[in-house]
Amino acid sequence: MRKILATLIIASFACGADLFVGSMTPVLDKVGGKVIAELHAGAKLKQISQNGEYVEVEYVGFIPGESPIAYARVGVLEQDINVGDMKTFKVIKTHKDPYDNEWDEVSVKGFVKKDTLVADIDVVHKAGQALFEERCGSCHALHAYDEFGANVWPSVIETMISNSALTPQEVETLNRFLQSKAPIE
Ligand code: HEC
């Protein structure tokens, strides 16, 4: 999978354009600074500026309550970013999901290595699809994408990690793909 990602990485990105995390990557407070967060495959970013092999980015996502993990959509547990300290999240505004739970819209700014980013979310989804087709259909038939909801697939995958010898990196790429296909309920 690393190979697929590496060949599809775009060498330079346009300012203000959307970028996506191709593989799990730390966020630094400045170039050569300390790690303030960890971004996961598929998370969407906005480029602020370029600095050598680093890109300054802004991430915007949603947290349910006091969660150190932010998600891509309100009510859907697509894991985008983990922070060590809740103060890393800047709260923008509060939303409610269909069950009346509050989700804070939060932003994080920092520096990430350019070569961990891709210009198109399809790169991540295609890598996830390849994993699914190659690793999930040898013992039983491939299960349908809509057999489980977007919030259930990660726990199904969890039970199949040792069967499929998935690395943490592969788990998140696979989850991201299945969550993009699965119904939300
Ligand atoms: C080494 C063989 C093997 C591989 C590879 C494998 N599975 Fe399974 N899977 C099983 C067996 C055996 C069961 C039935 C027993 C069980 O549930 O553990 C099962 C059951 C399942 C179920 C039904 C569980 C339920 O709660 O209804 C799903 C869904 C599933 N696998 C998905 C996957 C996915 C997705 C992958 C790829 C990440 C995968 N499997 C890879 C052996 C495998």
* DSSP conformational letter for 137: S
Per-residue pLDDT tens for 92-130? 999 998 889 999 999 999 999 999 999 999 999 999 999
Question: How many angstroms separate the CA atoms of 145 and 148, rounded?
Answer: 7
Where exactly are the structural domains of the chain?
11-118, 121-181
Q: What is the pLDDT of residues 23-76, one digit of tens each?
A: 999 999 999 999 999 999 999 999 999 989 999 999 999 999 999 999 999 989
- Nearest-atom index, ligand 1, CA of 161: 38
Tell me, using a 6 A CB cutoff, whether residue 156 lines ligand 1.
Answer: yes
Any atom of ligand 1 within 6 Å of the Cβ of 141: no
Q: What angle is formed at CA 118 by the lines to CA 45 and CA 149, rounded to 5 degrees?
A: 70
Residue 97 is given by DSSP the state -
171 lines ligand 1 (CB under 6 A): no
Q: Measuring from atom 40 of ligand 1, which residue has the nearest CA? A: 136
Question: Residue 114 burial (CB < 10 Å; 0-12/13-18/19+)?
Answer: buried
The alpha carbon of 183 and the centre of ligand 1 are apart by a number of angstroms equal to 20
Cα–Cα distance for residue pair 183/84, rounded to 1 Å: 31
The CATH number of the domain covering residues in 121-181: 1.10.760
Residue 44 beta carbon below 6 angstroms from any ligand 1 atom: no
Tell whether ligand 1 has an atom less than 6 A from the beta carbon of residue 136.
yes
- Tell me the C-alpha distance between 56 and 123, whole Å: 21
Pull the structure tokens for residue 58: 């802004």
> What whole-number distance in Å separates Cα of residue 181 and Cα of residue 175?
10
Segment 76-87, tens digit of pLDDT: 999 999 999 999
Amino acid at 116: T
Substitution candidate for ligand 1 out of 146, 152, 160, 164 with most atoms within 8 A of CB? 160
